Amino acid sequence: MYTPEYYFKCTVCGRFIDKPIPRCPYCNGLVIVDYKEYTYVIDKSKPGMWRYLSLLPGFKQVTSYGEGLTPISRVEGVIVKNEKRNPTGSYADRASAVIASYVRDFNLEHVTTSYVEDFTYSLIYYLRGIAKVKVRLEDLHQVGFDDLLKLVGSEGVELALGGGSNSQANFIEYLNPLTVEGLKTIVFEIYERRLNVENIVVPMETGVLAYSLAKGVEDLRRAGLDVNYEITAVVIKGLRSHVIALRPEVKVVHVDGYEVLKALERLARKDLITKPLSAASYAVAENLGSSIAVVTMGFKPHKATLKRGRMRSLILRVLGEKGPLTAYSMWRENPVYTLRGYYRALQSMELRGEVCSEVVLKGGRRVKLYKLC
């Protein structure tokens, strides 16, 4: 397996840093991952986003729960890349997979992070069994009651209020070089499909996603490829945002709240729910044309839909951990659902391209094995 040689490097002063911190301690410039060589190779034998190992840090062993290779489809004529299809329902899973691989590589027993909603839950999910996580909250009003209970009840999670230094050992913020490497794989997947689009439209709260995708474009170019995507970051007018990372080539578009509401209504009529920022990205992609919107979008959570969602997450996790399995084997491992339920869920997931299957001979009979695509 080819494992690229990588370094943490300041984008301003060029100094090499010995750990994945967000800012250079010498000049406060952003720190990124730099590679000795840039090569774009697709290894389809690897799971999800790890098929792009040639442009990801070279870890001894990767941690994966099936993140990446999220579906690309059309919603009323707009091309969307739906990051809801990741294990915890967020593009943050791409970042967490890279961070967890790094933590495992360096045998870190604990990690401290500041609370950032989707990222925090994703990181806890990926670090279970690998390292304990201390989550720093600014105050108790930062997180809703139900979400606070989830954190309190999570094994291996410790909560702390305020205080502490970001320079302490094993402190990993949402903005860090490893996060950027995970998120940039969205661009690699779009490029692999050779989609005829000019703009990749993303929501912007912190700017980290847009920054990461812009680096992905740059990495492809450094690998000698002719890539001309423009990264467009969407902000809702009047909505408070805290931009912590932005590259000059990223185009920023401000959207009126009324336009966001209209987009939310149109999507709701198709039984699709999404956050306002994702709806804003969808609306901008529609207005620009020749665009793909990176969104998190799901169906309305009726009771049956919620049950299917939990079963889907279980199937993705089991296949990510144990490889190709029959529906019967999955049922024996986790008989919380009926065998018929597994067959139905797997059939739907295969139609959506979330899992693949192959028929093999086993003990003189033909069996159908399911695996992550």
Q: What percent of the chain stands above pLDDT 70?
A: 94
DSSP result, 134-151: EEEES-GGGS-HHHHHHH
On the 0-12 / 13-18 / 19+ scale of CB atoms within 10 A, 28 is exposed
Please indicate, yes or no, whether residues 237 and 273 belong to a single structural domain of this protein: yes
Q: Which domain holds residue 82?
A: 72-90+178-299
Both tokens assigned to 167: 């320079």
C-alpha span between 55 and 73 (Å, rounded): 26
Please indicate, yes or no, whether residues 243 and 263 belong to a single structural domain of this protein: yes
Non-local CB neighbours of 340 within 8 Å, separated by 6+ positions: none
The maximal CA–CA distance of the chain, rounded, in angstroms, is 66
pLDDT one-digit tens code per residue, 133-185: 999 998 888 888 878 887 887 889 999 987 666 556 689 999 999 999 999 99
Report CA torsion sign: 317, 181, 56, 350.
positive
* Confidence (pLDDT) at 314: 86
| CATH code assigned at 239 | 3.40.50.1100
Is residue 135, in this structure, part of any structural domain at all? no
Please indicate, yes or no, whether residues 270 and 182 belong to a single structural domain of this protein: yes
Helix (H, G, I), strand (E, B) or coil at 284: helix
Please indicate, yes or no, whether residues 311 and 264 belong to a single structural domain of this protein: no
Please indicate, yes or no, whether residues 291 and 231 belong to a single structural domain of this protein: yes
Please indicate, yes or no, whether residues 254 and 347 belong to a single structural domain of this protein: no
Report CA torsion sign: 231, 126, 166, 137.
positive
C-alpha span between 56 and 178 (Å, rounded): 9
C-alpha span between 179 and 237 (Å, rounded): 27
* Confidence (pLDDT) at 2: 53
pLDDT one-digit tens code per residue, 304-355: 444 556 788 888 888 888 889 998 888 888 887 888 888 878 877 776 677 8
| CATH code assigned at 312 | 1.10.10.10
What is the reported pTM?
Answer: 0.80
* Confidence (pLDDT) at 351: 66
Which one-letter amino acid corresponds to residue 251? K
Low-confidence ranges of the chain (pLDDT < 50): 1, 301-306
Cα 208 to Cα 27, 61, 221, distances in angstroms = 20, 26, 20
